Structure 1
Amino acid sequence: MTWNDFAAGRAVDPAAFVAAAHALLESAVAAAGGGEAARADFVAGLEASLATSGPYATLRLDAGLADQGVRGELRDNAIAVSEVVLDLVRSTSGTGTPGPLDIHSNCVGYAWIPPVVERLIGEPGLHAARNLYNEWLWQLVLLRDALIPFTDPSRVRLLADADGLTRLRDARDWFTVQLMTRRIPHAAIVRFAAEAVTGGYAEGAYGFQHGGTVVLPPVALDGDLLGPAYLLGLREGTLVAEDTAYFVQGQEDGETASTLSVPARAIGDVEVVGLTDRLVPGPPVNPSGAAGPVVRTLSLVVGFDGHEWTTDLGRALRGHRYAARPAAAEATTEPEDAAAWPGCAVLRQDGQVAVPDGGVIPTGGQRALTLALLGRLRPGNVVLYTGQAVGGQRVLLDIRG
C-alpha cells in the first residue's frame, strides 16, 4: 500500500503534499502504540529537523560564511518555509486514506530527538514504526528544502511521484552542500527550483516558465526594489508559447563600458512621467523538438517621453544582485557635490555604461526604470540610494519616490 496518489507524476502544492504524507504519520503513530503523546513527539522531532541550528537540524545555516546577502536571504527564507510546513502539519487532518503498515524508507541518517528515540528504539517489534516515521520525516525535509528558493512557498507546485519527492535526493544534496559551504550562485538556486518544479533545468538560467506559471526574481514581477535579490517569485500566466522554458542572460557584447558624456543636471531636475514597461521574449535558442530544454532570453522594454529602450532582463537582474544596499540613514540628505544624469541618457547609449563616480541618477522610485538602468550600468559600483550616508566614489541610483 502506498501513501499517496502521485504515481503518474503530478504537480502538488505543499498543503496537498503534507495531507498525503499525513498517512505516514498516522501509521507511524499507530505502529508505535498510538496516542496524542506519540504524535506530539513525532511532530517535535520534525520541528527539530527543520531547524537551521542545533544538533538535530538537517540544514545548518547558523555557521560558516558570513556577511553574504545570498546566504542571509536563504537562511531567513528557510526559517519561514519551515514554519509554513509545520503549520500545515499541525493543522492538517490528512486525506482519510489508510496509510501503509510498513514501508521501505531511505536511510538518510537524520538524528532523532530523545523522545522519538525512546518511542522507536526502546522495545522490540517497532521496525515498521521506525520506517514509517523516518519516511515521513524524510519527505517533509525534502519538501521544506525544495521550497527554500521561493518567496511564496504555499503557492509552489512541486513535481511529485509515487515516491513523493525522493527523486530530488541528489539535487537536494548538491544544493544544500553549496548553501552550507560556499557563496551560492543565483543560477544554482534557480537550478534546484527548476528541478523541483519542472523535473529539469537549463544551465545558467535565472528563471523559467512551467505549467502556466512564470518564475522569476520578485523585482522582475513588480516586486520591491529593496526586496529579495536571490529568491524567486511566481506569477500566474505565460510569457512564451512553450509549456516549459528556461530564461537565460543574453550574450555579452564583449565591449568595455562606454563613459557617459552628456552634461549633468541639478538634482531634482529630472522627472519621468508616463513610464510603461513590458517583458519581451527572444526566439528559442533551441526550439521545441530539438535536443535539450527550450531556452529563451527576455528583454525589459521601458518607455517614456515618446521613446522606448530595451535592456536584457538577465543583465538587469545581475545588476540588481550586485548593487549595494547600505543601511538607511536617520535623516535623508542629498550627497554633497553630486551631479545628476537623466535615466534616458544612460539608456540611449549602446551596451554597458560607466557613469562618473559619485554621480546620481534619479529614478523617482520607479521599479522598471531602475531595473533597466541596472542592466546598463557597469555592475559592482552601484548603490541603491535612499538617502544614506555613502562612503567612497560610487554611482548612486536614487530610488526614492
Structure 2
Amino acid sequence: MANANMIKPLVESVIYRLAGLGGIVAGQTISPKAEGNARAQPQPRAWTLRSGVFTPRELVEGFAPLLDTVVDCLGKDTPNMRSARASLLDNVASNLATNTRESTLPFQKDVPDLSRREMKEQADRIGKYLVKWAREASSGPFEPDLNIRSPCENHLLTPPNVDLMFGARSQPHLMQLFNEYMHQMVLLRDALLPFRNFDEVLIPIDGKAARGIRHLEPSRAQFLTGLVTKSVTQASILAYTKALLAPDLPRTDTGGYGFQYEHGSVLPAVLNGGDTYFHLLEYIPARLDPSQNTVLFDYEFSDYYSAPRAEIPAGNQVQVHDLLKFPSGSAPFVVQKATLALVASGEGTPVRQLELRLELNNGNCVGVDVGQIARGHRYAYQALAGKEEDLPAQGAIVHSALDVLLQSNRGLVTAKQGGVHVIPTAEPIIALAILGKLYPENVVLLPEDSSLSEIGKAGKGFEPKFIIWGGMKPGGLKGRF
C-alpha cells in the first residue's frame, strides 16, 4: 500500500455533514488530494501503476497504456468499420455486464436474494461507468514495444474481436496485453462493489508491490466465492473493503462495520438516507478521530443473540378499530442535532464504538450504537403494499418512540410477554435509531401512509412483533428514509 507520508490530508476545523437525514455531523472534513494520474511510464517489458492515491477514474486512465499499445500495434482502421479501440472497449463492456456470454460475473435475470440482487445492480452500474471513463480517457504516454506475459484469466472475446485479435492485423503478444487490460478493469469493477458512491473512493496504490491492482486477487476470490456459493455478508463486505483501502486494520470477531483510514472514512450507506441499500458502504472525506490515521468501528454487541435484553417501556393497549390509520397525538419532539460520535475509550485505541447521538428539543439526548442500527436495518422486514391481512384480534400495544429511545437498561429492547408492539414516528432518523434499539428478530418497517393490515406476512409468525410505523417510504432494497 501507499507510503504513509505520500499524502498528508489537511484536517480543517470544519465539520462534515452527511447529505441525507438532515445532515448528520460525521467528524471533521479532510482535504485528501488524489495524485491525478496513475499512469506510470511503461517499459518494454513492464507495466504497472504509479504509487499514490487515486480515484477509480484515474485508475482507469492508468490502465490505458495497455489498450493504447494494442490499438497502436493493430495499425490503421479499415474505413467505414468500427474502430479497433471502440470494438475492444465494446468487449470490455460485455465482460463487465452481468447478462452476456462474455460476462465475468454472470447473474440470472431475476435474482430473489437481496444481497445478490444488490451486487448485480452494482456490477452493472459500475461496469457502465468504467467503460464510459475508458472511452473518455485522455491520451498519454504508452510503450509501442510493450510485451508482457499475462496469465490467462478466461476473459472471453466477442466474435468481432476474435477476428481482430487473431487476424492479419494482430501480433501474438497483443492478446496478452489486452487480456491484462480486461483483467485490470474486472478487478477494479469488483473492488468497487461494496461502495454506494464508488466513484468518490480514494484508493491507495503501491506500484512496486504488484502489477496494477493484482494484489487484490486473493481477497476478490474469497469475496466472489461467498457471493456465488452462499450470499454476501456484512463481514465479507468489510473484509473486501479493508483489503482495498486499509489492509493493516486490526482484526476482531465481527470484522467491524466501518473504519477510518488515512484518506477518509467508510460507513454504512444507510446513514445517508434516501433509497437505502442492504450491505453497501459509503466513503466520506472525513475523520471521526482526528488523532489517528486508522480506526476500526466495531459493534457494541459482537453477537446480538447473546446481548442483554431489556423490557420495552409500557405502552397503551389499542383495539383493532383504532389502528386503521397512523397513530397521532403523542408528545411531539424534534431532533435538533444528530452526530456520529466515538464512545470514550483509552487514548489511541485502534478499535472503537460509534454512536448516533440525537439532541432533542425537549432537552433529552440519546445515543444508539451505529453498528446495531445498520444490523437492525439489514434484519428488518419491509411491509409490502397490497399484502393485507386481518389485524391482530387482540389489538396492539402502542409505544412512544421517545420512551423506547430513552430506555436506560443496557441491552436490546424486547417484550418477554410477546404481543404486537407499534412504535409510530414521522422522522426517518428516529426510525433508524429505533432499529438500533430493538432486538433485531421480528421487526417490520411500515410507511406512515399505509395501514397496519398491510404488514401482511412480513416478519415472522410469532411474537413479539415490533412495527416501526412511519419514518420511511417504500423504495430501494430496504425502504427509503
Q: Shift of residue 40 of structure 1?
A: 2.0
Distance 1:90 1:344 in 2: 53
- Please state whether the residue corresponding to 1:233 is helix, strand or coil: strand
Query: Does 2:224 match 1:176?
Result: yes
1:24 paired to 2:84:
no
Q: 2:262 aligned with 1:211, yes or no? A: yes
Confirm or deny: 8 A CA contact 1:300 1:372 kept in the other structure.
Answer: yes
For the Cα contact (< 8 Å) 2:97–2:124, is it kept in 1? yes
SS at 2:381's partner residue?
coil
Q: Secondary structure at the match of 1:127?
A: coil
1:190 match? 238
User: Contact conserved, 1:20 with 1:95, CA < 8 A, in 2?
Assistant: no
Aligned position for 1:37: 83
| Match in the other structure for 2:194 | 149
Question: Which stretch shows the higher mean deviation, 153-162 or 255-264?
Answer: 255-264
Q: 2:124 aligns with which of 66, 72, 79?
A: 79
Instruction: Describe the shift of the 1:199–1:313 C-alpha distance in structure 2 as closer, same or farther (beyond 3 A).
Output: same
CA apart distance, 1:285? 7.9
Displacement, 1:122? 3.5
CA contact (8 A) 1:73 1:228 kept: yes
- Residues 18 and 99 of structure 1: is their aligned pair in 2 closer, same or farther, counting only changes over 3 Å? farther
Out of 248, 254, 278, the residue aligned to residue 229 of structure 1 is 278
Read off the aligned partner of 1:208 and give its amino acid letter.
F
Partner of 1:15: 57
Contact 1:215 1:234 in 2 (8 A): yes
Do 1:24 and 1:99's aligned partners in 2 also have CA atoms closer than 8 Å?
Answer: no
Question: What SS is found at the alignment partner of 2:259?
Answer: strand
Distance apart, 1:283 and its partner CA = 5.2
Whether 1:324 aligns to 2:369 is no
Instruction: From the superposition, tell whether residues 138 and 210 of structure 1 become closer, same or farther in structure 2 (CA, over 3 Å).
Output: same
How do 1:170-319 residues align onto structure 2 when only pairs under 5 Å count? 170-201=218-249, 202-203=251-252, 204-220=255-271, 222-224=272-274, 226-240=275-289, 241-251=291-301, 254-264=306-316, 267-270=327-330, 271-282=332-343, 287=348, 294-304=350-360, 305-319=362-376
How far residue 218 of structure 1 moved from its aligned partner, in angstroms, is 1.6
Structure with greater proportional helix content: 1
Q: Please report how far the alpha carbon of residue 33 of structure 1 lies from its aligned counterpart in structure 2 after TM superposition.
A: 3.2
Q: Deviations over 1:181-210 (max 9, x none)?
A: 212111111211221122445441211112
Q: Once the 2 structures are TM-superposed, how far is the Cα of residue 320 of structure 1 from its aligned partner?
A: 0.8
Deviation at 1:314, TM superposition (A): 0.9
C-alpha separation in 2, matches of 1:236 and 1:87: 25
> What residue is the counterpart of 2:402 in the other structure?
344
Give the match for residue 433 of structure 2. 372
Alpha-carbon spacing, 1:100–1:231, altered in 2? closer, same or farther (3 Å): farther
Local SS of the residue matching 1:353: strand
Q: CA RMSD in A?
A: 2.9
**Equivalent residue number for residue 397 of structure 1:** 468
Structure 1 Cα separation of the partners of residues 354 and 58 of structure 2: 33
Question: What letter corresponds to residue 62 of structure 1 in structure 2?
Answer: Q
Partner-residue secondary structure (3-state), 2:160: helix
Which one of 431, 443, 450 corresponds to residue 382 of structure 1? 443
- Alpha carbons 1:28, 1:128 under 8 Å: kept: no
Q: Which has the higher strand share?
A: 2
Q: In the alignment, what sits opposite 1:291?
A: none
**C-alpha deviation, 1:133, in angstroms:** 0.6
The AA in structure 2 aligned to 1:113 is T
Q: CA deviation at 1:63?
A: 7.0
State how far apart, in whole Å, the 1-side matches of 2:172 and 2:179 are.
11
Q: 1:309 to 1:60 in 2, by over 3 A?
A: same
Residue 59 in structure 1 maps to residue 124 in structure 2:
no
Q: How many residues align?
A: 390
- Identical counterparts, % of pairs: 26
Q: What is the rounded CA distance, in whole Å, between the counterparts of 1:6 and 1:29 in structure 2? A: 20
Q: Which amino acid aligns with 2:311?
A: T
Q: 1:193 to 1:257 in 2, by over 3 A?
A: same
Evaluate the alpha carbon distance shift between residue 248 and residue 285 of structure 1 in structure 2; reply closer, same or farther with a 3 A threshold: farther
Structure 1 360/191 Cα, relative in aligned 2: closer, same or farther at 3 Å? same
Tell me how far apart the structure 1 counterparts of residues 201 and 237 of structure 2 sit (CA, whole Å).
15
Q: Could you say what secondary structure the match of 1:299 adopts?
A: strand
- Does the 8 Å contact 1:31/1:128 carry over to 2? no
Shift of 1:390: 0.8
Change (3 A) 1:62 1:20: same
Amino acid at match of 1:167: H
Partner residue of 1:90 out of 118, 135, 138:
135
Of 14-23 and 316-325, the range deviating more from structure 2: 14-23
SS at match of 1:62: coil
